[in-house]
Amino acid sequence: MKHYKWYFLIIVLMALSVLLSACGKAETPTAAPPPTKEAQVAAPTEVSEAVTETEAPTEVSEVVETEAPVVPHVLKVANTANITTWDPVKSFSTEAAYMANIYEQLLRINPPDSAEQFTPLLAERWESNDDGTEWTFYLRKGVKFHDGEPMNADAVKASLEAAADHAGASFIWWALDHVEAIDDYTVKIYMTASSPVDLIASSLYGAWIISPKALQAATEDENYFEAGVDGGTGPFTIESYIPDQEIVLTRFDDYWGGWQDGQFDKVLIKIVPEAVTQQQMLEGGEVDLVTRIPQENYDDFRNKPDYDVIVEPSFFNYVGFFNTLRAPLDNTKVRQALSYAIPYDDIIKIGAYGLGTQSRGPVPAGVWPWSPDVKQYTYDLDKARELLAEAGFPDGGFTIKLTYASENATEEAFAPLIKDSFAQIGVDVEIEPMLFSQQWELSKSDPPNAQDMFLLLYWPTYSDAGSDNLWSMFHSSEYPFFNLSYWNNPEFDALVDDAIGLTVTDPQTSQEKYVEAMNLLVDEAPGVFFLDTQAIFIVPKYIHGFKYNLNYPFVHHFYYELTSEQ
Same domain, 342 and 450: yes
Q: Determine the Cα–Cα distance for residues 214 and 231; give it in Å rounded to an integer.
A: 6
Q: What is the mean pLDDT of residues 366-372?
A: 96
Which pLDDT score, from 0 to 100, does residue 24 have? 36
Nearest to 99 by CA among 551, 461, 555: 555
The pLDDT tens digits for 480-528 are: 568 999 999 999 999 999 999 999 999 999 999 999 999 999 999 999 9
- The verdict on residue 32 lying in a domain is no
The pLDDT tens digits for 90-136 are: 999 999 999 999 999 999 999 998 999 999 999 999 999 999 999 99
Which pLDDT score, from 0 to 100, does residue 6 have? 44
Query: Residue 122 is part of which domain span?
Result: 94-223
Query: What's the CATH number where 209 sits?
Result: 3.90.76.10
CA atoms within 13 A on the CB side of 93: 19
Q: Which residues of 411-444 are buried (b: 16+ CB within 10 A; e: fewer)?
A: bbbbbebbbebbeebebebebebbebeebbebbe
Of 317 and 23, which is predicted with more confidence? Answer: 317
Global pTM value: 0.86
Give the confidence band of 318 by pLDDT, cuts at 50, 70, 90.
Answer: very high
Res. 58: pLDDT tops 60: no
- The verdict on residue 66 lying in a domain is no
Give the confidence band of 72 by pLDDT, cuts at 50, 70, 90.
Answer: confident
Same domain, 455 and 328: yes
- The verdict on residue 16 lying in a domain is no
Same domain, 321 and 214: no
Percent of the chain whose pLDDT exceeds 70: 87
The pLDDT tens digits for 2-41 are: 333 444 444 444 444 444 443 333 333 443 333 332 222 2
Give the confidence band of 479 by pLDDT, cuts at 50, 70, 90.
Answer: low
Distances (CA, A) of 198 to 55, 123, 553: 81, 11, 18
Give the chain's domain count.
2
Same domain, 363 and 493: yes
Give the confidence band of 1 by pLDDT, cuts at 50, 70, 90.
Answer: very low
Query: What's the CATH number where 411 sits?
Result: 3.10.105.10
Same domain, 367 and 470: yes
Q: What is the mean pLDDT of residues 150-173?
A: 97
Q: Determine the Cα–Cα distance for residues 483 and 457; give it in Å rounded to an integer.
A: 13
Which pLDDT score, from 0 to 100, does residue 324 have? 97
Which pLDDT score, from 0 to 100, does residue 69 have? 63
Same domain, 497 and 359: yes
Neighbours of 224 (CB within 10 A): 17
- Mean pLDDT is lowest, of 26-30, 174-178, 248-252, for 26-30
Same domain, 329 and 431: yes
- The verdict on residue 125 lying in a domain is yes
- The verdict on residue 126 lying in a domain is yes
Same domain, 320 and 197: no
Q: Which amino acid is at 191?
A: M
The per-residue pLDDT of the chain, averaged, comes to: 89
Which of 223, 239, 259 delimits the end of a domain? Answer: 223
Which of 223, 256, 284 delimits the end of a domain? Answer: 223
Res. 47: pLDDT tops 90: no
The pLDDT tens digits for 197-241 are: 999 999 999 999 999 999 999 999 999 999 999 999 999 999 999
Same domain, 499 and 397: yes
- The verdict on residue 59 lying in a domain is no
Give the confidence band of 541 by pLDDT, cuts at 50, 70, 90.
Answer: very high
The pLDDT tens digits for 376-430 are: 999 999 999 999 999 999 999 999 999 999 999 999 999 999 999 999 999 999 9
Same domain, 219 and 321: no
How many residues make up the chain in this entry? Answer: 566
Question: Please, which residues have CB within 8 angstroms of residue 298's CB and are 6 or more apart in sequence?
Answer: 309, 353, 536, 538
- The verdict on residue 39 lying in a domain is no
- The verdict on residue 345 lying in a domain is yes
Which pLDDT score, from 0 to 100, does residue 65 have? 53
Which of 165, 200, 223 delimits the end of a domain? Answer: 223
- Burial (0-12, 13-18, 19+ Cβ within 10 Å), 309: middle
Which pLDDT score, from 0 to 100, does residue 480 have? 52
Q: What is the mean pLDDT of residues 149-153?
A: 98
